[in-house]
Homo-oligomer: A and B are copies of this chain.
Amino acid sequence: MSDKSAQKKKYILETARSVFMEKGFKNVTMKDIVEACNISRGGLYLYFASTKEIFLEVLRLEQLEADDVFEKSIPEEAGPADILALFLKEQKRELLSKKPGLTKASYEFFFENHEGGKNHFLKKQFDSAVLVIQKLIEAGVESGEFYCEDARRAASNIMYVLEGLKIASQTRGISEAAVDREILYVMQGLIAEE
């Protein structure tokens, strides 16, 4: 019953995911997950040996799905600037949301688990986002919407600002206005200079 087994594994991961979203990483115990899943204590150990293992799997799923979702939400005939604006808006929404996905849990997790190398979840996520933005900027430059000498660096800069906003939001809290200000600033950097 490798099928049923895979089914259950997926069920556990999805349930665990919502637990991590709510409580972060360090606050989640095997017991928490067992209870959220309504399975037996021993049952969980049949599939996973620790919260760490579970979390890594959750992230793996996350990555798979992320690629899908991203592409779908882009309107067919949008210009690069529009798409970038859309992307930033989406980031802003999640930034300020009360349910910030797995951000906090990931940070907590990777504070302690530096492993991963090239496959590091956060690294891959960051790099692929940089790449997307870079492409958008390049397209924007081509179409004359943007002015930018080094799209790669500009993209990277934007992502670091977003990362800074994210951590600020998760720790000290941040106002919508402040987020808008920062986003506007980076957008102006692409447009205003002629």
Contact = CB atoms under 8 A, between A and B. Distances in A.
B164 A114 contact: no
A5 to B, nearest CB: 15
Interface residues of A, number: 42
Given A160-B160, A163-B163, A168 B112 contact: no
A160 B164 contact: yes
Q: Is the interface of A mostly helix, strand, loop or mixed?
A: helix
Nearest to A104: B111
A172 B168 CA distance: 18
Interface string A135-165: 0000000000000001001101101111111
7 contacts: A107-B170, A110-B170, A111-B170, A121-B172, A123-B173, A153-B185, A160-B165
Interface of A: 24, 26-27, 104, 106-108, 110-112, 114, 116, 120-123, 126, 150, 153-154, 156-157, 159-168, 170-173, 181-182, 185-186, 189, 193
